[in-house]
Structure 1
Amino acid sequence: MAVKLSERSFAYAKRLIDEGRAAVDEMGEWSEHQPSTQQENEFIETFGFDDYGRWYLGEDDDYSKDEKSRYEFPYGDFERAHRCGVIAAEVRAAQRKYDDIEVAAAHLHGMLDELK
């Protein structure tokens, strides 16, 4: 499995935060805030996989660009970047030893903490 940081998604997340399209929520709230499978499917149907992929910090190039399995480490709800999602991505990336994703998520985490 070759999961790597999506620079495009990282830049998009930074832009969302800079524009104030961010939720400064608490660490354990991601299970309540992350999109459901139905919401993911509706987003893909409306906007396509290219836009869907911007909401995930990691991409697994073992999968094609039109498969949900390609996209890992979600950080938002298709409207805003969520602090709890960024923290979840940061923790999971550290556990799996995806250093580039962990560093990017930590950067976003810091940006979101500055909004507090």
Structure 2
Amino acid sequence: MAVKLNRAAFDHAKGLISKHQVSKDERDDWSEHQPTADEENEYLERHGWDDYSRWYLGVDDEMDEKTKGHYKFPYGDFRRLHRCGLISAESRAAQQDYDDITKATAELHEQLDGEHA
């Protein structure tokens, strides 16, 4: 699997932070806050693949761009960035040695906590 940073999603996340479209939730809240498969499908149906892709910090270039499997490391609920989503993505990226995604999530986490401390 060749997973790399999705620059458009990284830029989108930075924009959400600067617009204060964030949820400064707790580390373990992601399992409750992340979108369900039904919510993902509904978002895709209404907004398409380009908008959907902006909510995932990683992309697997071995998977077709028009499949959910192409998109990795979600960080929000299609409305706002979630701190717990960033923490989850940062931890999983580090475990899987995706250094560019780990660095990007750490930068976003720092920006989020710095602006909203």
- TM bin, normalised by shorter chain, reads over 0.9
Q: Supply the RMSD in Å over aligned alpha carbons.
A: 0.6
Partner of 2:57, secondary structure, is strand
Q: Structure 1 segments of 4 or more deviating over 6 A?
A: none
CA distance in 2, matches of 1:50, 1:71: 11
Question: 1:64: how far off?
Answer: 1.3
CA distance in 2, matches of 1:9, 1:61: 15
1:6 aligns with 2:6: yes
| Residue 45 of structure 2 corresponds to residue 45 of structure 1 | yes
2:56 aligns with 56
Alignment-mate amino acid for residue 13 of structure 1: A
TM-score by length of 2: 0.97
1:103 aligns with 2:85: no
How does 1:81-96 map onto structure 2 within 5 Å?
81-96=81-96
Work out the percentage of aligned pairs sharing the same amino acid. Answer: 54
Structure 2: distance between partners of 1:45 and 1:56: 17
TM superposition shift of 1:111: 1.3
Where in structure 2 are there 5+ consecutive unaligned residues? none
Shift of 1:59: 0.2
- SS of the residue corresponding to residue 4 of structure 1 reads strand
Q: Residue 7 of structure 1: CA displacement?
A: 0.7
**CA separation in 1, counterparts of 2:61 and 2:43?**
21
Amino acid in the other structure paired with 1:108: L
